[in-house]
Amino acid sequence: MTIHTPGIILNGVTGRMGLNQHLRRSLGPIVQQGGIKIGDSAAIMPRLLLVGRNASKLEAISREFGGLPFTTNLDEALSDSDYTVYFDAQTTDRRAEAVKKAIAARKNIYCEKPVAEDLTTALDLYRRAEKAGVKHGVVQDKLWLPGMLKLRTLRELGHFGRILSVRGEFGYWVFEGDTVPAQRPSWNYRKEDGGGIILDMLCHWRYVLDNVIAPVRAVSCLGATHVPERWDEQGKRYQATADDAAYATFELEGGIIAHFNSSWCVRVRRDDLLTVQVDGTRGSAVAGLRDCWIQPHGATPRPVWNPDIPNPLNFFEGWQLVPEQQSFDNAFKRQWELFLRHIVSGEPFPWNLLEAAKGVQLAEAGLDSWRKRAWVDLEPLSGPGCRESSNSAMPVSAE
């Protein structure tokens, strides 16, 4: 058995996403399961180096995972030739400069989104990585959520007929932090620190729509800062300078209209924290993070509008739950496995820094639309490895 041991620099592992999603739920379990098998004769066993700004936090995390090496010196980590992969889960405003350093050090790049705060910088990262000849990828975790995988399968099977529209509802109430601790870090609500829900969530909606439904062509977006005053991790009151809600309409290829509400100021009364409804001429579907419900044309009820009497229909009863036909692993872990296979054995990995730039492009266009109060068209992005229509490359199987 050949064991490949790529060294991975994990920068930002003391943060919520880096620690929980990428270390505890992805790379940690990959190590615990004995690595990633490549056929019958090889496996990948990643070696991890923790990087952050808080030595005491790093030490505690290191102990949790059996004594992983750690450092607060990123330059020192990047100079170590035993580590060939750089991963970044820092706050958005710190990411681009660190990724540039890693590319200059000839490290393969894998990072959280958004990769930058503006399209120019995002494209610059892609071009630098291509010029340096390093492999690169971006986290697009929602593509491996069971609900999104089921939606894509339904589209490929022709369940919808001609798709007409998509409606997404995302978010929950994030507490202000005074009487109840906030569930999200305070920097998310400060624009000067890279915060803002438009920059955060429109990057997600770009890759979800591109891969699961159809490529995005234009956007009309309205943002808002509904809660202008919050309390940070030290209990100090601060002014929220970033948008905490976004109401966006997208025009997709083929005339499909999609609308997504994203908010940290909404109380949930729906099936899940994220629900996506797709309506077509032959049927509809509603997907959450894991489950998906369908209603074909032949099982669609015929409501009659009469507000003077109680409605005789229970509209939830007319939907059928899509059965579990395969097993689903953690979405972040699944993409990590694909990226490491790409690094070691060269298997395709189309979710690269150009795809990351497309997400930043949509977020930037959404902010521009908000300022102008107008529709903004998206120009095609091109380059080596560019896919104008992403949804032909997304694997359906979760195996």
Distance between CA atoms of 4 and 397, rounded to whole angstroms?
A: 25
Residue of 164, 148, 399 lying closest to 292 (CA atoms): 148
Q: Long-range pairs for 56-59 at CB < 8 Å and ≥24 separation?
A: 57/14, 58/13, 58/14
pLDDT at 325: 85
Per-residue pLDDT of the chain (399 residues; tens, 9 = 90+): 899 999 999 999 999 999 999 999 999 999 999 999 998 899 999 999 999 999 999 999 999 999 999 999 999 999 999 999 999 999 999 999 999 999 999 999 999 999 999 999 999 999 999 999 999 999 999 999 999 999 999 999 999 999 999 999 999 999 999 999 999 999 999 999 999 999 999 999 999 999 999 999 999 999 999 999 999 999 999 999 999 999 999 999 999 999 999 999 999 999 999 999 999 999 999 999 999 999 999 999 999 989 999 999 999 999 999 999 888 999 999 999 999 999 999 999 999 999 999 999 999 999 999 999 999 999 999 765 454 444 544 544 444
Q: Write out the two tokens for 180.
A: 């109840």
Whether residue 114 has a cis bond before it, omega within 30° of 0:
yes
CA dist., res. 166 & res. 209, Å (int): 9
Give which of 87, 81, 139, 62 is closest to 335, Cα–Cα. Answer: 139
242 closest CA partner among 91, 88, 22, 138: 91
Q: Please tell me the distance from the alpha carbon of residue 23 to that of residue 323, in angstroms, as a whole number.
A: 30
- Range(s) for CATH 3.30.360.10 in the chain? 143-321
- Tell me the torsion sign for CA atoms 144, 49, 16, 197: negative
Residues found in the chain:
399
Backbone angles phi, psi at 247, to 5 degrees: -120, 100
Strands (E), the chain: 2-4, 7-11, 36-38, 42-44, 47-51, 70-71, 83-88, 108-111, 136-138, 163-171, 216-224, 229-231, 237-239, 245-252, 257-263, 274-280, 283-287, 292-296, 320-321, 376-377
Residue ranges, CATH 3.40.50.720, the chain = 2-142+330-352+379-392
The CATH number of the domain covering residues in 2-142+330-352+379-392: 3.40.50.720
CATH code for the domain defined by 143-321: 3.30.360.10
| Closest alpha carbon to 356 in 121, 24, 72 | 121
How is residue 31 written in tokens? 């190590």
Burial of 170 from C-beta contacts in 10 A (0-12 / 13-18 / 19+): buried
CA distances from residue 104 to 39, 79, 173, 309, 383 in whole angstroms, order as listed? 33, 10, 41, 69, 20
Residues 6+ apart with CB under 8 A from 243: 191, 196, 197, 198, 223, 224, 225, 370
Q: How far apart are CA 194 and CA 50, in angstroms?
A: 23
Strand locations in 143-190, DSSP E? 163-171
Q: Contact 68/50 with Cβ under 8 angstroms?
A: yes
Reported pTM: 0.93
pLDDT at 310: 92
CA–CA distances in Å: residue 305 to residues 283, 284, 295, 298: 21, 21, 20, 20
List for the chain the helix, strand, coil content (%; round to 5).
Answer: 35, 25, 40
pLDDT at site 398: 40
Whole-number Å distance between alpha carbons of 84 and 309: 68
d(CA 46, CA 344): 11
